[in-house]
Amino acid sequence: MKILTGVAALMLVSALFAGPALAHKVHLFAYVDGGTIYTESYFPDGSKVENGTVRVYDSEEALLLEGTTDPGGLFRFPIPKVDDLTIVIDAGMGHKNRFHLKKTEVEAGK
């Protein structure tokens, strides 16, 4: 009986902290088309990341470029380098995520 009570208490505590954990989540999607990389950034509730900072790094973790999302959560830029790329969104207040584009995807999108 004590074990069941402990498990129930643990489940309750986990449920209470699930909301704040999701509050810091942000989604990032990127794709390549016609020599341009397009990104979309949004929160779990569907609202767009406006004025979020987007940074693009190569496979050596060198910063290639930086920009800002528009009111629709979008940011686009010409392919800066044919390489494995890591795109990072910083939406402020701890909201960060990253998206990896493989070199083959970058090459195919030229």
Q: In sequence order, which ranges of 1-110 are alpha helices (DSSP H)?
A: 2-23, 103-108
Which sign does the torsion angle of CA 33, 68, 52, 58 carry?
positive
Report field, pTM of the whole predicted structure over 0.85: no
Residue 53 and residue 75: Cα distance in Å, rounded?
Answer: 9
Report which residue type is found at 70. Answer: D
| Domain range list for the chain | 26-108
95: pLDDT strictly greater than 70: yes
Q: In the prediction, which pLDDT does 8 show?
A: 52
Report which residue type is found at 23. Answer: A
Pick the CATH number of 26-108 from 3.30.470.10, 1.10.540.10, 1.10.10.10, 2.60.40.3580: 2.60.40.3580
CB 26 within 8 A of CB 97: yes
Q: What is the per-residue pLDDT across 65-83, written as a single tens digit (0 to 9) for each?
A: 999 999 999 999 999 999 9
Question: What average pLDDT does range 10-35 have in this prediction?
Answer: 69
Structure tokens at 12: 């309750």
